[in-house]
Amino acid sequence: MTANTKSWALHIALLVTLFTLQFVLPAYHQGNIARIMMLAVFAMGYNIMFGYTGLLSLGHALFFATGMYGMGLSIQHLGISPATAFVCGIVAALLVTATVGVLALRTSGVAFMIVTLMFAQSGYLAVLFFGEYTRGDEGFVIKQAQRVIASVDLADATNRYFAALLLFALCIAVTLKLVTSQFGHVLVAVRENEERAQMLGYDTFKYKLAAVLISGTISGVAGAGYGLLFGYVGANFATVQYSIYPLLWVLLGGAGTIMGPFFGTLFMFYLIDLASDLTSAYMLIAGVALVLLTLFARNGLMGEIRKRVLPWLP
């Protein structure tokens, strides 16, 4: 069995496991896993840019929030169908990503981080400034009647879970196909040594821009899907916190691995959930766990598995 076949089999096994869990998990955990899958899609988008291309962004909340607001405002103010609104959210994220990518890639290193952070902050301030339409910090709820696609009520817990799984599966397939292709190999070459990739004749700017576009669009898909499935659009999703989260999820799960973002999101989500039951200083527990993982599993959860057990893991 080739490495590519084993990789597809492993990822399909993960999807089958998630499909089966819907029938055995209690309602509380069903909701959590659905939420985790959508946030993992966000982290997968971030991973394309950071894990595979080596571009450290501190502004991905902008793309997530653009997808969310593009979808939510289309329903709220234009009265269009949820399916069309979902597409509007993705298109909005793509356009914003293209603008940010062209401008931010004129810089590199620390300057790139600062520029992406500034764009994200501008997006957050825009949400607050246009509070008449966005409802500012308060946000707005998408009514249950506005969350029905092809007679499927996405407000229903079971339908929501399977819709989240479908989006997660599609993003897994797209990402896996992408990173195992020649394009994905070039991205890794850019990450490892951009100057050498240029010497081999690759236009690294175009490859980095393509990576940014794909990364931001997938993050926009996550934002639009999250808002539609959970019925809420709020400015908190545009804050710096939601630019830091995907970085943590990817580092915890393993940067440059397909499954890493999911397991990093799963670990972080439940760590905070369980710690918050024990103490109000739950972020202290989360911080200690992060430090320990950084010290003893520097490649992240899936990164360590790839290093020690499964070297063919993409």
d(CA 267, CA 249): 8
- Residues 112/226, Cβ–Cβ less than 8 Å: no
The pLDDT of residue 1 is above 80 = no
pLDDT at position 276 is: 84
The pLDDT of residue 244 is above 80 = yes
Q: List own/partner pairs for 14-22 with CB under 8 A and 24 or more apart.
A: 14/172, 14/259, 14/262, 15/165, 15/168, 15/169, 15/172, 18/165, 18/168, 19/165, 22/158, 22/161, 22/162, 22/165
Model-level pTM? Answer: 0.95
d(CA 122, CA 236): 14
The pLDDT of residue 222 is above 80 = yes
Residue in this structure with the two tokens 């830091």, named with its chain if needed? 244
- Residues 237/120, Cβ–Cβ less than 8 Å: no
pLDDT at position 51 is: 94
Residue in this structure with the two tokens 């999101």, named with its chain if needed? 265
CB atoms inside a 10 Å sphere around CB 124: 22
- At 72-120, the pLDDT tens digits run 999 999 989 999 999 999 999 999 999 999 999 999 889 999 999 999 9
Q: How far is CA 111 from the centre of its chain?
A: 23
49: which strand partners? Answer: none
Residue in this structure with the two tokens 């764009």, named with its chain if needed? 119
Question: Hey, what are 117's tokens?
Answer: 């952070």
Cα maximum dimension of the chain: 58
Q: Which uninterrupted H or E stretch holds 62? A: helix 60-78
